[in-house]
Chains A and B, each alone.
Chain A
Amino acid sequence: MKEQLKKDFDNSLKNLSLSQKDIEIKKFCLDNFIDKGFPNKKEEDWKFSDLNQIIKNNIGELSFYNDQAYTNKVDTSVFVDGLEHNKIVFINGRIEKIDFEYEKKDQIEIIDQSETINEFKNSNSLSDLNNAFTNKCFKILVKKSYKLVKPLIIYHTTNSKIWSKNINLRLNFELDKDSSLRLIDLFNDTSEKNFLNIFYNFELKENAVLKNYKVDKFENKNIKYSFNNIDQDKDSISETFILSSGSNFSKNEIHCNLNGIYSSAFVNGVFSLNNNKHHEIRSIINHLTENTKSYQLIKSVLDESSKAAYQGKIFVNSDAQKTDGYQLSKAILLNKESEFNAKPELEIYADDVKCSHGSASGSLNEDSIFYLMSRGLNYQQSRELLINGFLLDVVEKITDSEIKNLIKNMIGIKE
């Protein structure tokens, strides 16, 4: 892999007009990655998902070079119907379209940051890989007091014309004071066996509201890693919803720093898995100052030999008095081959706090099935009804009614 990395890295550099200093930094990141390799289960954060092994088994050899000069045709058929929205379209890792047609042009600024290297407070080697290979990087700045009229949908599309086995993406968002953004990530993959490595950075100023919905619904053979870093100022709110279902392997990581008082973070997730899929959500909520709040709810339905893992951590700094932290994960195992692992963690250094977590996993309740069958439903219907109700609980947590309905339709959950 080392040779391939070096060769592809040199090729990538040719397409970029970088200063000598930036090249040095990129090289440094590459060397870091070569040194560490993909994370494996010896690392505490990857205990339940050995990425190195998963890539070896599913993809084999990776390649990293993307020809950014080659444009892809935007396939409009993937666009969501019935919901007016702004678009960013990624095709095979290349930004093809940025379109804020419904918004006031002077309130949103798109800044090209391709030539700056991002520092992530993430020690894992994937940020190094991302730093070394991202070609284009934009920062989307929502100006003071501007609330986007329509949601923004980011389409992540891959197809058979893909150049390399590995795609690295990066986007930065800054939400200025009193602004708000609704953001949907929609994955649409028709390519075979690629590794997507996505990094987002959000900066929320005072009283800003971010709602991020990640929808990985469509069946595909790809391996995904997605990292969200969210820094929150006073009174800001972030809401993250993850539907984890389509990919072969997917790991969503949410790092949330509650820096300002009265800021709050919500993380909700649904795993709906079958086949041999293996998905994970890792969340770290850092309560760094007083009067902050976090709420997490993760529910999983696991069929066949699928595997889900949830690692959630609530960290409370000694200054963060009056913290309210809550975390709940529930899983239903439908098949004897399926597996659910959880590591709900609390690390608390302040005494006047209210923190709790709960985790439960087991089979569908036989009594409930019996009850429904005695009311005239057959076994299959009863099962579906129970699962529907189980997952509806999380989807109902979505605070945006338009998007809630969209997601409900996508997963086929009825009220």
Chain B
Amino acid sequence: MDNRQKEINDLKDYKYGFSTDIENIQAPKGLNEDVIKFISNIKKEPAWMLEFRLKAFQRFKVLKEPDWQKPKFPKIDYQDLYYYSAPKSMKDKPKSLDELDPKLLETYKKLGIPLQEQARLNGIAVDAVFDSVSVATTFKDELTKQGIIFCPISEAIQNHPELVKKYLGSVIPTSDHFFATLNSAVFTDGSFVYIPEGVRCPMELSTYFRINASNTGQFERTLIIADKGSYVSYLEGCTAPMRDENQLHAANVELIALDDAEIKYSTVQNWYPGDKDGKGGIYNFVTKRGLCKGKNSKISWTQVETGSAITWKYPSCILKGDNSVGEFYSIAITNNHQKADTGTKMIHLGKNTRSKIISKGISAGSSDMTYRGLVDISSKAKNSTNYTQCDSLLMGNKCGAHTVPYIKNKNSESNIAHEATTSKISEDQLHYCQQRGLNPEEAVGLIVNGFCKEVLQQLPMEFAVEAQKLVGISLEGSVG
């Protein structure tokens, strides 16, 4: 009853305008135009932005939740969610590492995450001295020197409206599918990156370095624009296990590569997967789409998906510019009761476009995994090629691994090759490793790492080392 009273009080407050004390603000439960106006207002957004959100909401109202996916989930009551809540104040956060779950600390140790970072991940107030001289601050200066814009998207809406207005929604329009449209209507924050013409971004950009935006909430929106001849590598997420009180995560990520530009987007996702019996866990329903708008542009997606109760996403490339290239490298690991339905879409529109898909799926325990992908070569995409390889590894006979590729070729001058295999870890390989002194768990870790090598190689250095360890950790308890 207490909560309810609080909600009512909150509602009363909003009636006459908006409080300036961001710390304690929470939008009333439910989804309606007022809530959207509230979010837009609190972010001090210009009118066009509110219009964008409302347009998306109009569309959302007529859309139905999709049901064609393999992993089924209990119906979500969209009116029972909070669509805006300000970052937690320092009071509610743990004061020191000692207050944390020892299991979590153990995992950190295995991954080799430094103490400072462990603290930051859990929102423990970091020593101010440390913060001001932190790597992140130094990096930020260097980026500004080169003219690179890297800031929260809410800041970009204020400071660079011309860029945001031009590109936001150009790849994922407000009229897109259910979850993407929901995000367009209620997104709270996310990253904005703009790389100017001819600039090669000197470092890997990571959400981790983006100060002041630690809590982006469940509806994250990312927009990355690489201008002519530029290059950027962007890292999302981290290998450390992440907990979040919001169950539904519906983020949108839009990439735009202009002439001769290249974007490399790497994700390591390790959200809370629920307990051993499949209770709880995050629903990760993300829309990621890249547009190779200019000639000779390139977009490359790399993902390591080990967390979440349900992962449902298809990072896609629209190859519009002639000679553009799209790549997708993926490792998806499901254990216990996790479910994943992931893959990619490669839509070839321009001439001489090329795409490559390498997907590795590993399922263990009672989990279920699906690769679902589309390769569509239109009649104008002359001389295009696609190569797809999706391999699945099964551990135990309670899990499932499925492959559902859609292959459409409308052009006689283009070539598509697709192959897929499903198998288990061979007894011989296991025997060999164990003979050399590895225990069964280590042996499986080693073999799985070999199975995933093609994808792990694509990750930036600092990620790759951690990701390798993560692969092993995710499969703990699945053998023997």
Q: What is the interface of chain A, defined by CB distance below 8 A to chain B?
A: 44, 318, 321, 331, 333-363
Contacts and interface: CB of A to CB of B under 8 A. Distances in A.
A288 B51 CA distance: 55
A361 B409 contact: yes
Contact of A360 (B403, B412, B415, B424): B415
Contacts of A359: 405, 407, 416-419
Nearest to B406: A343
- Pick from B68, B400, B407, B420 the residue with the most CB of A within 10 Å: B407
B145 to A, nearest CB: 48
A273 to B, nearest CB: 13
A347 B411 CA distance: 29
Interface in B382-436: 392, 394-424
A344 B405 contact: yes
A266 to B, nearest CB: 20
B247 interface: no
B423 A354 contact: yes
B418 A358 contact: yes
Contacts of A351: 394-397, 399, 424
Given A348-B400, A351-B395, A338 B412 contact: yes
Contact of B402 (A339, A346, A350): A346
A348 B416 contact: no
A345 B390 CA distance: 12
8 contacts: A336-B412, A343-B406, A344-B407, A346-B401, A349-B400, A359-B418, A360-B417, A362-B416
B408 A341 contact: yes
Given A343-B404, A351-B399, A361-B407, A356 B422 contact: yes
B405 A336 contact: no
B419 A358 contact: yes
A313 to B, nearest CB: 9
A354 B402 CA distance: 13
Interface size grouping (class) on chain B: 20 to 34
Given A353-B394, A356-B422, A363-B414, 14 more contacts: A318-B398, A336-B412, A339-B409, A339-B410, A340-B409, A341-B406, A350-B397, A351-B396, A357-B420, A358-B419, A359-B417, A360-B415, A360-B418, A362-B414
B379 interface: yes
Contact of A345 (B394, B397, B403): B403
Contacts of B413: 336, 363
Nearest to B403: A346
B411 A318 contact: no
A213 to B, nearest CB: 27
Contacts of A340: 407-409
Nearest to A361: B409
A342 B373 CA distance: 12
A301 to B, nearest CB: 11
Nearest to A323: B422
Contacts of B416: 359-362
A41 to B, nearest CB: 13
Contacts of A342: 405-407, 418
A82 to B, nearest CB: 38
B397 A355 contact: no
Contacts of B394: 348, 350-351, 353
Nearest to A343: B406
Contacts of A356: 419-422
Contacts of A352: 397, 424
Contacts of B397: 318, 321, 349-352
A338 B408 CA distance: 11
Nearest to A330: B417
Given A343-B406, A356-B422, A357-B419, A348 B412 contact: no
A284 B396 CA distance: 24
Contacts of A348: 392, 394, 400-402, 422
A353 B422 contact: yes
A333 B407 CA distance: 14
A339 B408 contact: yes
Nearest to B68: A44
Given A346-B422, A348-B422, A362-B416, A333 B411 contact: yes
A361 B416 CA distance: 5
A312 B191 CA distance: 42
Nearest to A307: B410
Contacts of A333: 409, 411-412
Contacts of A347: 400, 402
A-B CB proximity, top 4 nearest: A362-B415, A333-B412, A351-B394, A346-B403
Contacts of B406: 341-343
Contacts of A336: 379, 411-413
B415 A363 contact: yes
Contacts of B404: 343, 345
